[in-house]
Structure 1
Amino acid sequence: MWKEPYQIRTMTRKEVDLAIEWAAQEGWNPGLHDADNYYAADPEGFLIGLLGDEPIAVISAIRYTNQFAFLGFYIVKPEYRGQGYGIQIWNAAMQSLQGRNIALDGVVAQQENYRKSGFHLAYRNIRYEGTAATEVAVPSVKDDVTIVDARTYAFEDICAYDREFFPAQRRTFVKTWLNQPDSQAFVLLKNEPEHRDRVVGYGVIRKCRNGYKVGPLYADTPDYADQLFTALKSFAFPSEPVYLDVPEVNPQAVALAQRHQMTASFETARMYTGAEPELPLERLYGVTSFEIG
């Protein structure tokens, strides 16, 4: 019996919208503007598998540098699963990233398969869910720090701070992430004379299909993280869901989520093919994105 040919190629920008829609159907609750944000990270980093003219599989393979990459959006349409189409697009993505340390946030059901492809567990990320305050309040910030709108602050300083928490420079993505619609971004600045205007925290909250996600959430101390998270939450519509993806290896991040009466609802495994990057996980309170790091 004749079968339609299976073709794997780079996605167009419009096809990234399809990947986002499939992610929503899987319950991943993407942001309203994630397609634009993610595409900016690497326009050549999205693959689609087509059976004839029908899209049946997607994956992202974001090349940040020649040393580091991130895999995500590994989805096969339900009716085509178990027929070998997924492993073909997976292999194409892995081939495109050859020679790099590859990271991903793997759902529980796929973690054993990822191990077979050379990934090893670094730590778990836990998605916590809570709700915004019933009334929008002006966030309270202590005297030793100032909170400012990140869009008005020195972009290069924000990029430098983001680089401390991520294995590669990602200037283009950060610029898009900061300036996306339906979002708010803050930086926390130190007020003491010897440290004036030094970034000690940075975070973004964005509107999603359901509620809002905070990410990233970086801060030099647990107190700064709490102040920043409280300020970001004030952007959310009252009583709407708010999500924070927390690295479980940071107990202060887990404590922050629990202090804000959030409950665990989902988990992934941060996995790498190479050595785990040396990152200040004790200052990382919220992951930017499970899809692209």
Structure 2
Amino acid sequence: MQKNSYTIRTMARQELDIALDWAAEEGWNPGLYDADCFYAADPDGFLVGLLDDEPIATISVVKYGSSFGFLGLYIVKPEYRGKGYGMQIWDAGLALLSGRTIGLDGVLAQQDNYKKSGFTLAYSNVRYQGAGGGHYPAASGIAPLSALAFDDICAYDQAFFPGNRREFLKCWIAQPQSTALGILRDNKLAGYGVLRSCRSGYKVGPLFADSPEYAEQLFLALKSHAPENAQVFLDIPAINAAAVDLVKRHQMVVSFETARMYTGQSPDLPINRLFGVTTFELG
């Protein structure tokens, strides 16, 4: 074999675990069961770069529907950075999403590099950290998502995402060590959220709701399912003033920030009803 042979190919499912281990080392705190749901979204949407058969770089380029894709998990092992391997897998990933609007949540330090590839800043997403447990005021209409028609959940979710993510959602709301709740008004879904177990603590995501009041009721119900004083994280669009009010009202503090960027036209999402991002890796 030629020495220092660098190849890029589609990941096998087990290699996605490697990417998420690297993400954890970067401090991104993935969920314990994210990999299966990520893979369900698009089994061909994950690339690995290998140097003499050693995985040294990863990227996810997940396709949704016919016109949208989301880029994430762009990681090069630290000892191989600055040698061009990352740019090669980046270019390969972008090629797979050619012709689509592409979104990403990038670390702020890389924002200028992403601009060189045609990405423009839409807004910041900010991770807030607080405490789990607690009692929440009884809120009528809150029900487990498992008790609701999946088609209704998909239909509600569609407004908040630029492409069809039915297969991802089916896995996401039913993963182990998670709580998925909806809030009903007039027998229609008026919001939903998911709390999942992560490498450290728990994350709420997504958190979508038709009003700040519904969002807060869902948030309090979800975080009550986390152990008392366990870390609970919520990733909010910084331009949603009501979401900022929510995290501040519950004494949550900033722990991380990303730049939500897109190529082409930014999707027209109802940011005023988007109180929690599903995941920085897949949108």
TM-score range, shorter chain: over 0.9
Question: Quick one: which of 156, 167, 175 aligns to 1:172?
Answer: 167
Match of residue 96 from structure 2: 96
Shift in Å at residue 3 of structure 1?
3.4
Q: Is the counterpart of residue 206 in structure 1 residue 196 in structure 2?
A: yes
Shift in Å at residue 246 of structure 1?
0.4
What residue identity is the alignment partner of 1:164? A
Instruction: Measure, in 2, the Cα distance between the counterparts of 1:219 and 1:151.
Output: 18
What residue identity is the alignment partner of 2:57? A
Match of residue 41 from structure 1: 41
Cα deviation per residue 1:189-217 (whole Å; 9 max; x = unaligned)? 00xxxxx2111110000000100000000
Shift in Å at residue 6 of structure 1?
0.2
Instruction: Measure, in 1, the Cα distance between the counterparts of 2:100 and 2:93.
Output: 12
Question: Quick one: which of 117, 140, 143 aligns to 2:137?
Answer: 140
Question: Quick one: which of 138, 151, 157 aligns to 1:156?
Answer: 151
Instruction: Measure, in 1, the Cα distance between the counterparts of 2:14 and 2:221.
Output: 34
Instruction: Measure, in 2, the Cα distance between the counterparts of 1:17 and 1:109.
Output: 25
Cα deviation per residue 1:134-170 (whole Å; 9 max; x = unaligned)? xx53x3234xx40000011111101011101000111
What residue identity is the alignment partner of 2:55? P
What residue identity is the alignment partner of 1:165? F
Match of residue 281 from structure 2: 291
Cα deviation per residue 1:81-123 (whole Å; 9 max; x = unaligned)? 0000000000000001000000000101111100000000000
Shift in Å at residue 132 of structure 1?
1.2
Shift in Å at residue 66 of structure 1?
2.0
Match of residue 273 from structure 1: 263
Question: Quick one: which of 254, 274, 277 aligns to 1:264?
Answer: 254
Instruction: Measure, in 2, the Cα distance between the counterparts of 1:277 and 1:187.
Output: 24
Cα deviation per residue 1:16-35 (whole Å; 9 max; x = unaligned)? 00001000000000000011
Question: Quick one: which of 224, 228, 237 aligns to 1:238?
Answer: 228
Q: Is the counterpart of residue 225 in structure 1 residue 220 in structure 2?
A: no
The count of residues paired between Structure 1 and Structure 2 equals 282
Match of residue 187 from structure 2: 197
Instruction: Measure, in 2, the Cα distance between the counterparts of 1:38 and 1:202.
Output: 20
Match of residue 21 from structure 2: 21
Shift in Å at residue 4 of structure 1?
1.8
Instruction: Measure, in 1, the Cα distance between the counterparts of 2:137 and 2:38.
Output: 32
Q: Which runs of 4+ in 1 moved over 6 A?
A: none
Give the match's secondary structure for 1:93: helix
Match of residue 254 from structure 1: 244
Shift in Å at residue 182 of structure 1?
0.5
Match of residue 193 from structure 1: none
Instruction: Measure, in 1, the Cα distance between the counterparts of 2:267 and 2:88.
Output: 28
Q: CA-atom RMSD, angstroms?
A: 0.9
Question: Which consecutive residues of structure 1, in runs of 5 or more, have no partner in the other structure?
Answer: 191-195
Percent identity reads 60
Give the match's secondary structure for 1:165: coil
Shift in Å at residue 53 of structure 1?
1.2
Instruction: Measure, in 1, the Cα distance between the counterparts of 2:65 and 2:194.
Output: 24
